[in-house]
Structures are given as structure tokens and as C-alpha cells.
Chain A
């Protein structure tokens, strides 16, 4: 089944390039406006990042990143259609033009940035790889994992990090590679592996899917840097800038204290930074090819970065993740956006 999907995408890539010259000429922004909606690639279901509820509404921090772009273009956060993709399919889907942007828990690496024909448009979550382990095994630290059998999801940077980490420590392991995170948890629950490895933000969510979440614990070790963010195709700088600056707008809004609740009142603010952000002063929108009030729309309809974080993965959600390094730079974190100027 997955094979069929991958082949279909491969064929789409070839067929797409067959007629591509005309598509290339038109910009992504024009295409999106013509379609009337943004086509956004997300996960097949990962709580806190992109997950459909029982009514088919998608929620999550990656989903909100897409909604913010739609709000900036159309003034309507609902003008998005989501394409669920496995880790293996995601880049091909973006390269072939099946989706306009990819917001799918994707780690920014040199290879991906430089050789896939893609551009990373920023970071909406700073993550790191960790381990989930059964409490019964009696291991408290990742350095005690020599010889362990480890469940991983296919097509992720985790596969490489894991290999590097064990090699550097001179330890051996047996990888069991599954296609989706759902199957990975099932394999872990069935006892096929001692350890499940993934980004730390996911471990909490995956742990909550176990029949007895208290039987497993997350080891304290973080073995890699995983900056996650939205991705666009290379060669369309306007679109790249739009996705990048919509995310920066949300981060700047948090820094300036603009929220979805007070966005309308803030229109009357005489702080020049807020005026430029919300479009009451300057022509920031026009420079990006967006409406002048795009910043106001993004913050009002989707919220600033902090709201987006708290709503989806923050302490009051089932994931209960502290802001940690994802806090603003003014509050001890590393979330930092260039100025709107």
C-alpha cells in the first residue's frame, strides 16, 4: 500500500515535471489564490502537532502554522486543506507540487535544505530525540541500552541519530523500523522492542496511547537537536518569504504582547512596532505580496506564537510540555524573530 503511494508520488513527480515549465512560471502565491485555498502537508496523526478529531477538524501547532499562512493570504484561517503524509512521502509530495507547503514535524538539516530542492522557512518547535522505555527493565540512562531492540518510525532523522549515538558510545542495538508512529507504538506495546525512540515532544504523546501509560517512562537523555519547522519548494522566493514572515509575525506578536483577544484594540496602539506588525503603518504586506493587514489577520484568527504553543502542546494540554527552550529569548528561551521593519 505504501509502495503504491510512493510509486504514485514518483510517477507524479515525473509527470509533473513533464508539463512543469508552465507551472514553474506561475508563482505559488498565484496558484494558491486561484485555487482559493492552501494545500498543506501534515502528519497522519500526531497529537499536539497535527491530529484530526472525530469530526475531521485538524488541530496542532503544525496545523496552526498552515492556518496562519491561510489567514495572511485570504484573511480566513479555514482556507486550508490538509494532506496527511507519512515521513517517507512528505518531501516527494512537496517537490511534485501536490502540496503548497509542508508543516509536518520536519527536522531542518543541511542535506534536506541543500539537496532536496526545498527550503526550511523557520522553526516552530525546538525538539530533541529521546527514549521511551518500559519501567520493568530497570534502566535509568541511555548509556545502559547496549544490545537493546529499538522501535523507530521509518524515514526520519531519528534513524540516523540513533545509529550515530550508539556507534559513538560503542554500543550495539537492533532497529525495528515501522511505517507510521501508530504501528511503532503497537510494536512497543506488543513487547517487540525494549525501547521506542522519537522526538521528545512525541514520546509524551505516544506514551499516552499505551493502555497503561504508567508502565513506561521517558529517559532523561536528549541525543540530538531537532529544529522542526515549515518547508517550501526552492525557487519561489516570494512564497518562501511569506511562510517565513508569517511565522516571524506570530513570534513578534508574542514579544509585543499582541494576542488574538486584544488584536482589535491594538490597532489603535501608538507603539510603532505594533503598528508595523498589524499593518496600520508602513507597507509591510505589499512587500510580501500580501494584504496590508495580514499581521492583524494572522494574530486575530490564529493567535501569537505563545497562544499557539499553549493551545496545542502547552502545560494545560494532554502533552503537558513546558516552554523550555521554546520560550521567547526575552524569557530565557531561544525563540527569536527578526524585526518587522
Chain B
């Protein structure tokens, strides 16, 4: 049509688009104001903390601020394989002296010790010398400091100080993957017997995967039963499924401890029916078994509910149609019913997997040494070592992992194929 490009006007001559915008504007403002509290809430409680966590995980300004003169002097240090020139020694001495006066030198020693083992001893030695005023500031500081300890004569220690110069670092992330920046700045692996984080990551994935699998195999029949039973029975069953939801997580975990411990009810039962000998009771707690059992039970409702809501919408006549057209009950189930439940399976598995990957309390209580997950390690660094930047880095790695899984899921199944209810 020829008038396609022509602007359409309303009766009083205003372009239709302008008029429409004007009419919609009030509604848009109203809608925005309604969601504004939630938006504000999300920004304050979600986006801001994540940003803060990220900053903390890469922040390395402590040394940068403590040793300003050192790093300024280090700009002139050209041949990094040799000991730095006198200016660097002087800068470091002056910075350290100032720190010692402010009682801040201990922090620096600890921080540098993390970068390279042995720093604590030699900085303390330097501190004692400064305190006793045994250092002659007019003479060569390089010679005097080098004489204090042989490590000061080792160029690697000076390289380690230089590595702490940039205000931001990815070293925490490398540490989370059992890697570190080597002396020459390249990325290296830690010794094989000290790679604990990689084991924890793999164990977290493994436990989350199997818990999801167990939840699926147990939840699918329950959800099917819930969706097909007559109302009066299905309501009762629904309450049974939801009951754990209304009980404290801690209480549920504690009751699993009572059930699973070596002198617990399950073991007593096994002994009673003669499955195991009384003096050879199996350990079902403080290992992976305990983590699997408790987490599967706790996460089961998250699988059942999305499955149920999808199955509820599948008309029973579809299965009948499948059978009347000649499909055996199995064929009718597999070709007709099962494909229709995939949105629910996707939602349930994703939900359970993501919850399981970050699970904390249950593995901490029933997991023991072989059943703890990465989140327990994060908590350990939060509470015990107080290395918050490392905890933040691992938290963000976990978050990224979840986002990657979500992305893969989207590629495979499609997020619009999810049905939560």
C-alpha cells in the first residue's frame, strides 16, 4: 500500500505514535513505581553485594598502599634477574620504618609471607634492627639489609614484592583452582599433594549431579502419582511432600544424624534383621553416604513440585490415545507422556542441581571430611582464616559455574522450555 510510509494522524492532527506514547506514559510510570521497591531491594541486597564481593576478590591494594616508595623506586629496576638497585632498598627501608612506627609492619610480613614463604622471619629481623637503631641510614642500605639474612640476597624475594605492586590481582582465583603466579609471572600448578580445591570442586559437581539424579528417579513417580490420584488422596500426599518444607533445615539434618549414626536407628534395624554384624556396623554418616541421603531428602520437594505442575496439565486422554492407537503402556509412556514432562524435568533438575552445588549446612553437619563441599571451604575461609578475598573469589567462581550451567542448559533444552508452575 502506498500510505504505508505515511504518518498516521489522529483526528486533531497529532501523529498517532506521539499520541500513543503520551497515553501510555502515565501507565508506564505507574508500573515502574510499583516495581521500584523491589528494584531497589534487588540493587541493595543483590547487585551491590556481588559487586562488593568481586572488588574484594581482586583487591590487592594493601601492599600497594604500604610500600609506595618501594614501588616507585622499583620502576627503575630493569634487570629483574639481578638484585634491585640501592634506591629500591632505600624505598623499602623507609616504607618499612614508617610501618614499624605505626605498628603496621606485622600485617605486611604476613601478607608477603603468603606471596613467598619465609618473608615473616626476615621482615621481623629487619624490624628488630630498626628498633635497635642498628641501621646506618647514611651508608648503603643494600649492603646492610643483604647482610641481615641470606634471603634478602635472594632475588626471588624481591620479585615477590614486585608482584604485589599492582592494585588488582587474579591470584585468588588461581588459588581457587590450585594454581599460582610463579616467580616469572607465569601460571603454575601447586604440588599434587596440595591440590585440595580441585578435589572439592569435582566432589561438589559429583554430589550435585548424583543428588539431582536420585531426586529425579524418586521424584518422578511421586509427582506422577500426585497428578493422577483423586483429589482427596493427592492432597494428603501433597502435604507429605511439603511437610519437610515446613520443618527447619537444621532439624531435618539433625534427625538424619540420629537415623544414620553408627548406633542409630537405621543401623539398629540392619543389625536386627541380620543384614550386618553388631560389631561391624557400616558408617553412613560423616562421609559421602550421609551427604547423599540427607541432601536427596531435603531437595526432593524442589524436584517434585515443578514436575507435578507440568504433569497436572497433561490430559489423561493423551495416554489413552497412545494406548488405543496400539502403543503398549510403555510405548505410550515413553513416546507420549515422557516428552511432555521434559519442561518439568528441566526445571526440577536445574533447581535441584543449582541448590545442591551451593549446599552448606547439611554437608557441614553430616559430611565429615570426605563429604564436605566447596561451600564449606568458603565458610572455612570466611570464619577461620579470615581470608575474605579468597572466600569472595571462590563464591564468585561458584556463581559463574552456576551461570555456565544455566547457559549450557539454555543451549540444550531452551530456557523457555522450563515450567516452574
Q: Do A and B come from one complex?
A: no
Q: Which residues of A contact B (CB under 8 A)?
A: none
